[in-house]
A and B are shown apart, each in its own frame.
Chain A
Amino acid sequence: MKDSDIKRLLYIHLSCIFSVILSIFIPSFFLENFSILETHLTWLCICSVFVTAVNLVLYLVVKPNASSKRSSLSYKVTRFLKCCVYFLMSCFFFHVIFVLYGAPLIELVLETFLLAVLLSTFTTVPCLCLLGPNIKAWLRVFSRNGLTSIWENSLQITTISSFIGTWLGAFPIPLDWERPWQVWPISCTLGATFGYVAGLVISPFWIYCNRKQLTYKNN
């Protein structure tokens, strides 16, 4: 592992953070009355699209893992379709989990689903970019001693911090402060976003600080 890798990681993460920030400011130039809290669903969609787009672009530009052996068009298409299916499945999976955690079943379905989409954007899309539609690889990354590169390490950190952020976002909901951001699912989406950004910031530094201790199995 070289310092240049970490530097590259930092730049990539900075551009991801930048995409989140852009999603807050850009739409206000085009849309009237745009604000995160009041037109929350719009922002959710825009943020998801921005982050996905940046992730894809970065994936195409950086190509963190060595390109696969086959590169026929049909293979790429099936791979892409598979990725889409995985993404949708993860959205539904998160939706189910939210409902099991106590989200309303019938009311606010759209809101809950968009939260699921946002969380999928923060977690599943990087997984798909980095690891491809390969559940076994995902499971490997998220277990002890399963990491093989700093990319996977940073993926692990950002994903877990997104989850924790969403989880923490649920805490203010019962409080009687009557703030607009306490409404379901706004606090959770904000929590997810903050968690994601925090993960993006933390992971390069954490890797840098622990670069002596970290050893990766090379497959």
Chain B
Amino acid sequence: MQKISVLLFLVWVCFLFYAGIALFTSGFLLTRLELTNHSSCQEPPGPGSVPWGSRGEPGACWMASRFSRVVLVLIDALRFDFVQPQRSYVPGEPSVSLPFLGKLGSLRRILETQPHHARLYQSKADPPTTTMQRLKALTTGSLPTFIDAGSNFASYAIMEDNLIKQFTSAGRRVVFMGDDTWKDLFPGVFSQAFFFPSFNVRDLHTVDNGILEHLYPTMDSGEWDVLIAHFLGVDHCGHKHGPHHPEMAKKLSQMDQVIQGVVEHLENDTLLVVIGDHGMTKNGDHGGDSELEISTALFLYSPTALFPGAPPEEPKVVPQISLVPTLALLLGLPIPFGNIGEVIAELFSEVEDTQPHSSALAQATALHLNAQQVSRFLHTYSAAAQDLQVKELHRLHDLFSKASAEYQRLLQSPQGAEAALQTVITELQQFLRGVRAMCIESWARFSLVHMAGGAALLAAACFLCLLVSQWATAPGFCLHLLLLVPMIWGLAGVVVCAGLLACAGLKLDPVVLGAMAAVGSLLPFLWKAWAGWGSKRPLAALLPIPGPVLLLLLIRFAALFSDSFVVAEARATRFLLGSLILLLVAQLHWEGKLLPPKLFTTPRLGFSAPTSPPRHNGMHALGLGVGLLLCVRLAGLFHRCPEETPACHSSPWLSPLASIVSGRAKNLWYGACVGALVALLAAVRLWLCRYANLKSPEPSVLFVRWGLPLMVLGTAAYWALASGADEAPPRLRALVAGASVVLPRAVAGLAASGLMLLLWRPVTVLAKPTIGAPRTRTVLTPFSGPPTSQADLDYVVPQIYRHMQEEFRGRLERSKSQGPLTVAAYQLGSVYSAAVVTALTLLVFPLLLLHVERISLVFLLLFLQSFLLLHLLAAGIHITTPGPFTVPWQSVSAWALMATQTFYSTGHQPVFPAIHWHAAFVGFPEGHGSSTWLPALLVGANTFASHLLFAVGCPLLLLWPFLCESQGSRKRRQPPGNESEARVRPEEEEEPLMEMRLRDAPHHFNVALLQLGLKYLFVLGVQILACALAASVLRRHLMVWKVFAPKFIFEAMGFIVSSVGLFLGLALVMRVDGAVSSWFRQLVLAQQR
């Protein structure tokens, strides 16, 4: 069956895309599970006594606190060589020339004059080196990845155990000043906070000056235990000018003064920590894992002596997250639960060596506590997630138990064991480093190979779509061969890859296997393409896309590489869509299809005469264009602002009706929403009525007539309840609650049953063939016996169709009350599009329920504008009757653009906090309990509603020009349209065949469907390819995790939803086709009897 192979081919292409997306994602999006366990004071991390005087002192937890207060000066992007030049960075060059060198002189001075009080470390940050991820790491002590799979996507607030939480739960007063990222991360925990906007990268001074205004007064006031000051100037200076700019020298000098000032204000019980969260590249960017980005400075200073020895010549290298357990233990707090950092041991040594081994013992104690906590975390984590290596886990566990036992033994008998203590310390450090290495391996490393492979696979799949969509129309196109060979090769690829992996003893990764299958099936195809191409055709044929559309696709492709354009994509899409619409109108004019004088040459629309007349006059097309622009603009009023543009104001209409205070406004809006629903219903019914699909007694038609109004009623009632639930009298509360559970489910159930009915009996044709009518006999005389082959059937079908038209014409003429010959015969001509439109309408209502009430207006606009667009596109399409049928590129790209535009105008944005989470509670006001797939489905349906609708409606692009055929002919007929003329119309002047033309050429029909699917997949595939490339090329970009990565995820999800929708839409059309065929067969059999 050709239909099946078309669908299978599409499935294969989708699989190629999915494999590419999955491979890219596995390399790019690192995931980790967030645990919400907390460490507490009362609960030590493991067995064994807590020796260091904790029982006596109040306020000390796992260890006695050495400092009661801490000042944390966080200088964003304080690269290590800003503090101390490293010879390796500037080989040969005179280091004096660099503006950032030697500007932090006070640090050097302190280090030289007070060697026992201060220490400088080179701290290594883990990628991704972006501020938010670093802040998360610096407070939780773990390795944040982009997706920390936690319970809450809706905000950036840190759910894991962290230092700030430990501070506040121990009753310390935390004062914060600086970067307002902390406001999102730690909402409402600071006893006092001065936030300054961090978004404007070009502004070097607002944040820093704001901090300086408050820093010293706050320090002197003494109303704090922990003071955090986050300076942004250095980072912004790097982004704006780069590190090699004189401005950087000024900024660093300012920071130097700050540090000096803070040191002067310090009291004896206070620890000063100066730290950079990440470094920067030579251009001032950060985000990746190059040496310059991850090396940062860490400076510790205490007014009392802290270190027994002098600082080493070259500062020690410590991981950045070491600060977390160190600070926690120094302040006498529990180490945060998820910390995997290692304490900086030398900070725990005794300055005055009173006992022989007390220093070593203190270090061992701190390390042991740290190791116990890490071991507890590992145990909990590996029980909850499986992404850590089991073998390594066991090895580490053994190491830890050995060291721990040894430590306990030494505690019992502390005699004569300097060396033994040192071994314990070394073993514990080994354990901690091993854990960290293992976690980095699985959480924090981009896999460039996977990313490149995924992008290449996506590109190849796009290329394949382009190629096959062009081949499909060529004569002698055989799909079976195209399909079969790749399948075999793909299987071979899987087997070989699995064998190789098994031989090498590696883990079988389904993503890699899928990718290998995809590559295996692609290779022979591309080989064949290359071989078949080579000499025969010119290279220009490679680009079958017409110039303007190509330019449009290119702009769209390039725009995804700019963070500003991704942020402003809503506006950009509207602009491009408007441009395309005006271009279409202008093109129609340019081709002379709009000019009135040439219009009415009226070629006859005969059965064999394929000439397609221009169907619209000038004002008509111009009106369509302007109407479309108006719709697009109106839909843009429902726009939600991305948070990156502070000047923009989100539409107030995106809030639910329940939030409106004024009763009158609420009623008005409610009326408008219900009006939109009714208008939608009326429009669909009018359309179906016009194409006469409402007269059939088929169950699906009956459902449209009676079920849809019921759904509208249900939706309206639900909205009434939802918007006015609080005003209900107490007696009715239970009823209201019950109804708000039942109503959405009822609407969804109705829609589902409607779709089932549609699939079961998709032919919406009123068929009353009167057997034995004389004319029928004459039409069917060439046939004796039932049709035996497809060819017979192909011949019979037009005959029957013509016969039916005769039937209806005769019937209509009998009932004189009707107008000119218009209605009854058209129902077969619109049988495909009627099914698609019905399916779309059935889909819209449950999707509407998931949205806020006022979005119904947007959905009405959506239907209107797609209707107008289809008409406009149909005006430019020339139908060649015997085939091949093609859907032009501009139709497909306009359709895809409109899907994106609707995504934005239904109040969505491609960032996680903008997801409409309330959708999960429609019909489930009490929540879902433990199940996750149902709320995920609901939220996904809400988010990707436009993708789904437009993908399912995609076949309309092919069908609509055939529908419009009837309009032209009807219009022409109306002027002379009195009935006497109609009756004497000669025989060859047929009613327009409309979609039956497709039925007449089944091969071309199937090919056209395949081509349509491939073109749509290509347009979407180019977008996802651009997103993937942007995310991988710009992985060092400031906005990677805020803009590009979420955009990629949303685009990938949208692609998956779209491809599934496309498949369903095409399958629906094919199902209708099959049903029409069997219907014809039955008709023929009935005729024969």
Chain A interface (Cβ within 8 Å of chain B)?
97, 99-102, 139-140, 142-145, 167, 170, 174-176, 178
Contacts and interface: CB of A to CB of B under 8 A. Distances in A.
A99 B630 CA distance: 9
A41 to B, nearest CB: 21
Contacts of A101: 574-575, 578-579, 629, 633
B589 A100 contact: no
Given A100-B630, A101-B575, A144-B591, A178 B202 contact: yes
Interface in B548-568: 562-565, 567-568
A101 B405 CA distance: 74
B633 A99 contact: yes
Contacts of A178: 202
B564 A143 contact: no
A144 B592 contact: yes
Contacts of A102: 571, 574-575, 578, 633, 636
B595 interface: yes
A167 B589 CA distance: 19
B760 interface: no
Interface string B564-597: 1101100110110011001000000111101100
A99 B633 CA distance: 8
B578 A170 contact: no
A175 to B, nearest CB: 5
Nearest to A172: B564
Contact of A143 (B575, B590, B626): B590
Given A139-B589, A144-B590, 9 more contacts: A100-B633, A101-B578, A101-B629, A102-B574, A102-B633, A142-B589, A143-B595, A144-B592, A145-B592
19 contacts: A97-B582, A97-B629, A100-B630, A101-B578, A101-B579, A101-B629, A102-B571, A102-B575, A102-B636, A139-B589, A139-B594, A143-B589, A143-B591, A144-B590, A144-B592, A174-B564, A174-B568, A174-B572, A176-B563
Given A102-B574, A174-B565, A142 B633 contact: no
A139 B595 CA distance: 8
A100 B579 CA distance: 11
A142 B618 CA distance: 14
Contacts of B574: 101-102
Contacts of A176: 563-564
B571 A143 contact: no
Given A100-B630, A102-B578, A175 B590 contact: no
Interface in B714-737: none
Question: SS class of chain B's interface: helix, strand, loop or mixed?
Answer: helix
A138 to B, nearest CB: 11
Question: SS class of chain A's interface: helix, strand, loop or mixed?
Answer: loop
Contacts of B567: 174
Contacts of A97: 582, 629
A97 B633 CA distance: 10
A191 to B, nearest CB: 14
A101 B589 CA distance: 20
Contact of B579 (A99, A167, A174, A175): A167
Contacts of A167: 579
Interface string B605-631: 000000000000010000000100110
A174 B594 CA distance: 35
B588 to A, nearest CB: 10
A174 to B, nearest CB: 4
A142 B582 CA distance: 14
A149 B316 CA distance: 82
A95 to B, nearest CB: 13
Contacts of B594: 139
A59 B654 CA distance: 54
B562 to A, nearest CB: 7
Contacts of B562: 175
Nearest 8 interchain pairs by C-beta: A174-B568, A100-B629, A175-B564, A176-B564, A174-B564, A100-B633, A101-B578, A143-B590
A143 B618 CA distance: 13
A185 to B, nearest CB: 14
A102 B579 CA distance: 11
Contacts of B618: 139
Nearest to A176: B564
B571 A174 contact: yes
A8 to B, nearest CB: 28
Contacts of A99: 633
Contacts of B592: 143-145
Interface in B1047-1084: none
Contacts of B590: 142-144
Contacts of A143: 589-592, 595
Interface string B151-172: 0000000000000000000000
Nearest to A170: B575
Contacts of B595: 139-140, 143
A51 B378 CA distance: 76
Nearest to A140: B595
A145 B595 CA distance: 13
A178 B568 CA distance: 15
B627 to A, nearest CB: 10
B1038 to A, nearest CB: 11
B303 to A, nearest CB: 44
Nearest to A139: B595
A100 B629 CA distance: 6
Contacts of A139: 589, 594-595, 618
Contacts of A144: 590-592
Contacts of A170: 575
A147 to B, nearest CB: 12
A145 B589 CA distance: 12
A100 B562 CA distance: 25
B1037 to A, nearest CB: 12
A179 B202 CA distance: 12
Contacts of A142: 589-590
Interface string B809-839: 0000000000000000000000000000000
Nearest to A96: B626
B123 to A, nearest CB: 31
A80 B636 CA distance: 40
Nearest to A175: B564
Nearest to A171: B555
B901 to A, nearest CB: 11
Nearest to A144: B590
